[in-house]
Amino acid sequence: MLEEKVVIITGGTRGIGLETVKLFKENKAEVILFGSREETVKSAVESLKEEGMKVEGYFPNLNSISEIEKVIKEIYDKYGHIDILVNNAGISANKKIEDTSSDDFSKIIDLNVNAVFNMTKAVVPYMKKNGGGVVLNTSSMVSIYGQPSGVGYPASKFAVNGLTKSLARELAPFNIRVNAVAPGITNTDMVANLPKEMIEPLIKTIPLGRIGEPRDIANAFLFLASDMASYITGVVLSVDGAARS
């Protein structure tokens, strides 16, 4: 479904990001993963190599537009095109507001919102140059329903939805589609680190009776990245087992 497409996936060293890397490789894409640290990027690249998947890895500071632009240019100069960007890097939060410092809040916004802006800003000129592309963002079910604590996380994902819907309208004339996937509770280490008293009541609201798997979310990204979704833009696609708050 993605043969000869060049794809960049942030947060690609674990969880949903790593599963998306694998699925996109299975569908013949040329994938470049971004991670937060050199050691995690090298580990992911080596692990994928052992599975027979050749993937490049980088670890730019996603809050440095100059650093990102340098890496994006390097990738473009090597491949001649960048077709798909998956903005997946992010962090969660679970503290009550009185226990959340301004620095805590800013850290979440920096990675979950500003990094999405920076990556998209750096990639869009190359997509325009080549006649189109696809930008996909990782949102969350809490961007629709909120959550009982950790206000910075849903606030950041509300912002991701706004970026997605607005950029879809701005970039549509250039044949650049912008969509988001809003996962429900998914079996990743990020969720594993959340307290049971937050997760267990939420699982009971899922009509399908289970939490999602990373492949469930990766499948949604694959669909939206492919030509099967060529007339879909500005959508925040819920992948949550019909969970509702």
Catalytic center residues: 153
- What are the φ and ψ backbone dihedral angles of 243, each rounded to 5 degrees? -65, 140
- Mention every residue, 6+ apart, whose C-beta is less than 8 A from residue 92: 150, 153, 190, 193, 194
Beta strands at 236-239 and 176-183: parallel, antiparallel or unpaired: parallel
Distance of CA 79 to the CA centre of its chain: 22
Structure tokens, 69: 């632009």
Are the C-beta atoms of 119 and 162 separated by less than 8 Å?
A: no
**How far apart are the C-alpha atoms of 210 and 213, rounded to whole Å?**
9
Closest CA to 158 of 147, 145, 143, 146: 143
